Amino acid sequence: MTRPRRNRRTAAIRGMVRETHITTDNLIYPLFLVDGKGVKDEIKSLPGNFRWSLDKLLPEVEECMELGLRNFVVFPAVPEELKDKTATYSYAADNFYLEAARVFKEKFPESTLISDVAMDPYSSDGHDGLVESGRILNDETLPILAKMSVAQAQAGFDIIAPSDMMDGRVGAIREALDAAGYIETAIMAYTAKYASAFYGPFRDALDSAPKAGDKKTYQMNPANRMEGLREAMLDEEEGADYLMVKPALNYLDVIALLKENTTLPIAAYHVSGECAMLIAACQNGWLDFEQAMPETLLSIRRAGADVILTYFAKEYARLAQGLEVSL
């Protein structure tokens, strides 16, 4: 008689036949950067995560590196007075985000530093594209994104990550990077980024919500699956090096679809709202964090994600080394 339970009998046997593995190499830790000094401001809607000034961020990164976590994506929280309709601060010579990248890579040259490319952190309208008479202008946005990307590559970012969902932006950015001599700077395209209800804590962290309207004319409809594959084909054709699905948990089928139809690495963003729900359940004693968190990340990896952007990256690294977690 065939008995599948034979392969579950002991921990050693279960480990031997384990199909899916996660290491810190598969994880990217999102971090929020503010200008100034001495700032470590907890995000109320995402407990355990903070807005950091660079002097406070660097020791946090050093601790992560010691845990074997080497991959980071950094998002800037830009003061309102530096924002305008055309996001000119995004490539300004004195941009604190770009200055921080230079210091970051000088101190941690062996790290992978990933940027964010979109107008919304720098736009007085709070949208990812250029706004005119209430409309998001696609083609007019592309030169702005390209200029922003070149400035980020020049600052030392290893991977440029356009999160804006403008049509054609991967090709425009690739062309601009190559023309500026940054042929080795990779592009991680937010390929299937959905108009999701799960971005709330992220927008709290950056104060980047749209001033009017919503993002449904450029972010994808949550009802659509095959559209994600269409976006993937276009991004790959335009020169993307990674394809991302965002959010992750509610879109595991999209992650699997892209994984089955491309040879490019698949990234999945385990977004702020998804993490906040798990944190709340654990803080209320409804779930055990040390069991629920790894299982959650495992589901994303099992669906086909090669890399996972998650606010739990550091906690996973601590847990993997048998250290106490803070949540």
Which of the residues are catalytic?
193, 246
Beta strands 307-310; 266-270: pairing state: parallel
Look up residue 220 and give its DSSP letter. B
Residue 193's DSSP bridge partners are 246
Give the C-alpha separation, 91 to 201, whole Å: 26
For 28-83, what is the HEC assignment?
EEEEEEECCCCCEEECCCCCCCEEEEHHHHHHHHHHHHHCCCCEEEEEECCCHHHC
Look at the block and give the residue holding tokens 């089928």. Answer: 253
Whether 323 and 69 have beta carbons less than 8 Å apart is answered as no
What the block records as the tokens of 243 is 């394809």
CA 27 to chain centre: 10
Give the C-alpha separation, 104 to 61, whole Å: 9
